[in-house]
Amino acid sequence: MYPATWSCITSSAGAFRSASLAYLPDHEPALGARRFPLEPEWTSGFELAHNVDLLLHDAQYTREEYPEHIGWGHSTIHDALAFARLTGVKQIVPFHHDPGRDDAGLENAVNEAVTDLRPEFPVTPAAEGASFDLH
């Protein structure tokens, strides 16, 4: 079932550390907002993603594409990064990319959002076979 938040405990060389991950597919946190992001208590999904180590978040559209898709249940890359900033995540993996976008187009779209928003956390677009160390 989704959306969801998972917590895990990892062990390395006898040291234990807890880590958390939130998975928010088909999430459109800016829906109905005149401006986004809003205050935390008015932002869909805030409590699920608050302060997680790794956020996997829907990022289907660019800002230019979004007006034609409002209410379809998908986020822009910019809104995914703004949501990540608001929730205080440590790292974001935007995913659920538009299937019509090739790798170069995806890289350009993500780079544009990162340049515009200058997030203080790593942004790593999802790719098949990727893995993430939460230590």
Q: Can you give the pLDDT at residue 38?
A: 86
pLDDT for the residue 11:
47
Q: List, run by run, the mean pLDDT of 10-residue segments along the chain (135 residues).
A: 46 68 94 89 94 96 96 96 97 93 93 98 92 80
Which pairing describes strands 15-24 and 54-58: parallel, antiparallel, or unpaired?
parallel
The reported pTM is 0.87
Residue 97's closest CA among 63, 68, 66, 74? 74
Residue 81: per-residue pLDDT: 98
pLDDT of res. 128 = 85
What domains, with CATH codes, occur in the chain?
4-117 (3.60.15.10)
